């Protein structure tokens, strides 16, 4: 693991990673409470994507998939917003975070035979997801939502010395890699 830590440390600025932490996968906090938000369809993605419930499986199944890996890596990107409630700007900055996540995914996949990549708010690669009729068109680029796996990011972040909230007019996006 020291090699991947060295690579991330060297590439942090190039990748536009704001903060990051390595941890053991069995220390990650999972909660059915987070999945409850998915089931209430708070973001509108429930049942519409391979990256979201119910397609990702139960919280217990997701937890088992994650803890099959020994280690985890959490990272954030930070966007400063012109207007606090500009949803167009939120979407644009989220797309930037997804590009960062793709770059991080390549690093981990170059170093490890397998890695599970989780990101934000479901997938938006295709105009219309193939779920549930057909398999995902881009399974190596589709990153399930961290929260869809039941990961309690709001509690996990401070345990990793990562800020969940970086102040007014900013938005912090989280991704995780299990390896």
* Model pLDDT for residues 117-158, shown as the tens digit of each residue: 999 877 888 999 999 999 999 998 899 999 999 999 999 999
Three-state SS for the chain is CHHHHHHHHHHHHHHCCCCEEEEEHHHCCECHHHHHHHHCCCCCCCCCCCCCCCCCCCHHHHHHHHHCCCEEEEEEEEEECCCCCCHHHHHHHHHHHHHHHHHHHHHHHHHCCCCEEEECCCCCCCCCCCCCCCCCCCCCCCCCECHHHCECHHHHHHHCCCCCCCCCCEEEEEEEEEC
pLDDT of res. 125: 86
Residue 87: the pLDDT is 77
Number of folded domains that form the chain: 1
pLDDT for residue 86 is more than 80: no
Under the banding of pLDDT at 50, 70 and 90, the label for residue 79 is very high
- Identify the pLDDT of residue 140: 87
Model pTM score:
0.94
Query: How far apart are the C-alpha atoms of 36 and 14, rounded to whole Å?
Result: 36
Percentage of the chain surpassing pLDDT 70? Answer: 100
pLDDT in tens, 99-126: 999 999 999 999 999 999 999 877 888 9
Predicted pLDDT of residue 57: 96
Give 43's pLDDT tier (boundaries 50, 70, 90).
confident
- Provide the residue range defining the domain that includes 16: 2-178
Residue 91 pLDDT more than 90? no
Cα three-residue angle 76-78-10, rounded to 5 degrees: 55
């Amino acid at each position: 693991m020291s090699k991947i830590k060295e690579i991330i440390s060297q590439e942090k600025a190039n990748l536009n990673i704001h903060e990051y932490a390595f941890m053991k996968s069995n220390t990650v906090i999972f909660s059915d409470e987070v999945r409850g938000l998915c089931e209430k369809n708070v973001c509108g993605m429930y049942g519409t994507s391979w990256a979201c419930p119910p397609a990702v499986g139960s919280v217990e199944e997701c937890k088992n998939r994650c803890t099959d890996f020994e280690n985890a890596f959490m990272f954030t990107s930070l966007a400063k917003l012109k207007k606090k409630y500009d949803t167009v700007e939120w979407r644009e900055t989220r797309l930037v975070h997804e590009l960062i996540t793709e770059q991080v995914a390549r690093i981990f996949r170059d170093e490890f035979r397998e890695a599970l990549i989780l990101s934000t708010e479901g997938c938006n690669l295709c105009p219309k997801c193939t779920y549930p009729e057909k398999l995902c068109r881009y399974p190596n680029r589709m990153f399930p939502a961290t929260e869809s796996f039941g990961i309690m990011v709001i509690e996990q972040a401070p345990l990793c010395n990562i800020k969940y909230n970086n102040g007014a007019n900013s938005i912090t996006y989280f991704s995780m890699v299990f390896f």
